[in-house]
Amino acid sequence: MAAATHSVTLDGLSGRPIEVEVDIGGGLPATVLVGLADTMVNEARDRCRSAVSNSGTTWPDQRVTINLAPSTLPKTGSHYDLAIALAVFAAKSLVPAERLAGSVFLGELALDGRLRAIRGVLPATLAAAEAGYERVFVPEVNVPEAELVRGIGVVGVRSLRQAVALLTGEEEPDDPPVPPLDDTPSISWTSADRLAHLDLADISGQEDSRMALLVAAAGGHHLLMTGPPGIGKTMLAQRLPGLLPDLTHEQSLAVSAVHSVAGVLPSDAPLLTRPPFLDPHHTASAVSIVGGGSRTIRPGALSLAHHGVLFLDEAPEFASNVLEALRQPLESGHVVVSRAAMTAAYPARFQLVLAANPCPCGLSSAVADQCRCTPLMRRRYADRLSGPIRDRIDIHRSLTSLSRPELVTAMGDARSTRELAAIVQEARGRQERRLRDTPWRLNSEVPGVELRKSWPVGEQGRVLVDQQLRTNKLNARSADRILRLAWSVADLNGHDVPRGDDVEAALSLRRGTALGGSLRDLVRAS
């Protein structure tokens, strides 16, 4: 006696349909599970045995062979339980085989047959819909997440007995749901909704830094802020998400899928509509930042910040291998985690914000310079952020302490986050119209060769960049970043083509020198 059901295996965010075959044959009683399954999947034999025995039938007193096909794909996770148990029911002729066709089954079984919530429901349901399946059975608590996918029916079930009743047309039992268990990984992340009450106008002074933050939000540029403790670096970074527009539906699905696989997707709001904000502690390991794990590969902070902001406060205090791991994702927009048994790829197109002190004690640029660090100590501290990492940061800002009279003068002279967010929205609208028929949506994503060929700057701006290249003040990559910044400044100013003053502002943003002109008028209260 043999039967088969269908489930999904996840490879990063990519789901692939698999067939769960069960054969009940002669021989000594035994349960064998094959198909390149890991330890977690192998444990499904005991869970399913108890769940089936507690759901109205007995486990076969024969040799039971369970095959997860194709056997070349690694299988990990506990969501195959429901498919295995229903295949056993079908093999015993307790469920019609034709009722199983066209459906995908996802869910972890408790020993009494009830279904527990699982992670990765959104990408698994997406894979099932793309493969042409008509329905997907998921635990009741995961229904809102699965219903985000269009074109496939979602059936929420509380228990194995209820699933069998739905498939056979019998009366459904009134089984209570399993209380959810908290297996959320210890990764600190914050949605932009929780930062919505923070206003950029609360920061006194630091006008150049607010202008830099505005340009960063408009074009999706990376930002490095250097200054003594208490100067406002963290306050500025936490107010960046408030300037960013809502995620598009496509972006929301991508971000929600990553958080679903990581197990941190809120069950009451499974579709994330605001950009995420990640601020890991400087003691975080490389695995928590990049992704990985001993048994299963989970996305790290780089991927959880996809289409959002990754803020590394006290950046030089992070381990060197963590900082150097930023190189490839900053360029490619994705991260690949390789282990001996499997490899997983996750999206990682985030906006990086770094904050650093000017020296180990942090007091070298304070109003009352009390720094006792030697030049060698300062040099070693600055070198913790390597040249390649600094070169990939578009905007550099050095924040200095303000005197008391300057603080008094600066209070009330800044626009609110809401006003500036509207300006950012207009600038991004210009980028969207300009890049409509391209694979890019932000200035920071456009390759330099495409900028020079399709969207060249004005003659005066081109001469300025050429002069910097001839004098070796810029390398080729830095020149491309200047062009991207110039376009973002032009979009904020409403210019169709970057002018000379737009390119000058881009050069100042890149070098960390003083800003002025039209950008200053944008951030000041009218």
Least trusted range by pLDDT, from 158-162, 468-472, 514-518: 514-518
* 141 within 8 A of 177, measured Cβ to Cβ: yes
> What residue type is 371 in one-letter code?
C
Q: For all residues of the chain together, what is the average pLDDT?
A: 90
- Model pLDDT for residues 142-182, shown as the tens digit of each residue: 999 999 999 999 999 999 999 999 999 999 998 888 776 55
Is the per-residue pLDDT at 357 higher than 90? Answer: yes
CA angle centred on 209, ends 208 and 211, rounded to 5°: 65
User: So what's the pLDDT on residue 248?
Assistant: 95
- Place 205 in a pLDDT band, splitting at 50, 70 and 90: confident
What CA–CA distances, in Å, run from 43 to 33, 35, 109, 151?
9, 14, 11, 33
State how beta strands 14-25 and 63-69 pair.
Answer: antiparallel
Of the segments 118-127, 265-274, 293-302, which one has the largest average pLDDT value? Answer: 118-127
- Place 55 in a pLDDT band, splitting at 50, 70 and 90: very high
- Among 162, 125, 167, 164, smallest CA distance to 140 is for 162
Any idea of the CA torsion for 15, 250, 149, 158, to the nearest 10 degrees?
A: 80
Is the per-residue pLDDT at 455 higher than 60? Answer: yes
Q: Any alpha helices (H) in 67-191, and if so which ranges?
A: 81-91, 97-100, 121-130, 143-146, 160-168
User: So what's the pLDDT on residue 313?
Assistant: 96
User: So what's the pLDDT on residue 403?
Assistant: 62
pTM across the whole model: 0.91
The contacts of residue 480 (CB under 8 Å, 6+ apart) are 447, 448, 451
Cα–Cα distance measured from residue 369 to residue 346, given in angstroms and rounded to the nearest whole number? 45
Structure tokens at 151: 């074109």
**Residue range 93-115: mean pLDDT, rounded:** 95
Is the per-residue pLDDT at 526 higher than 90? Answer: no
Burial class from Cβ neighbours inside 10 Å (0-12, 13-18, 19+) for residue 11 reads middle
User: So what's the pLDDT on residue 370?
Assistant: 79
* 288 within 8 A of 252, measured Cβ to Cβ: no
User: So what's the pLDDT on residue 187?
Assistant: 45
* 277 three-state secondary structure: strand
* 219 within 8 A of 444, measured Cβ to Cβ: yes
Residue recorded with tokens 């089954």: 105
User: So what's the pLDDT on residue 400?
Assistant: 82
- Place 338 in a pLDDT band, splitting at 50, 70 and 90: confident
Structure tokens at 317: 């205090």
User: So what's the pLDDT on residue 242?
Assistant: 94
Question: Side-chain half-sphere of 221: how many Cα atoms within 13 Å?
Answer: 34
Is the per-residue pLDDT at 102 higher than 80? Answer: yes
- Model pLDDT for residues 390-446, shown as the tens digit of each residue: 999 999 999 987 766 656 566 566 789 999 999 999 999 999 999 999 999 999 999
Cα–Cα distance measured from residue 512 to residue 514, given in angstroms and rounded to the nearest whole number? 7
**Residue range 280-287: mean pLDDT, rounded:** 93
Percentage of residues of the chain with pLDDT beyond 70 = 93
**Residue range 56-79: mean pLDDT, rounded:** 93
User: So what's the pLDDT on residue 149?
Assistant: 95
Is the per-residue pLDDT at 184 higher than 60? Answer: no
- Place 186 in a pLDDT band, splitting at 50, 70 and 90: very low
- Model pLDDT for residues 364-383, shown as the tens digit of each residue: 766 566 788 998 999 999 99
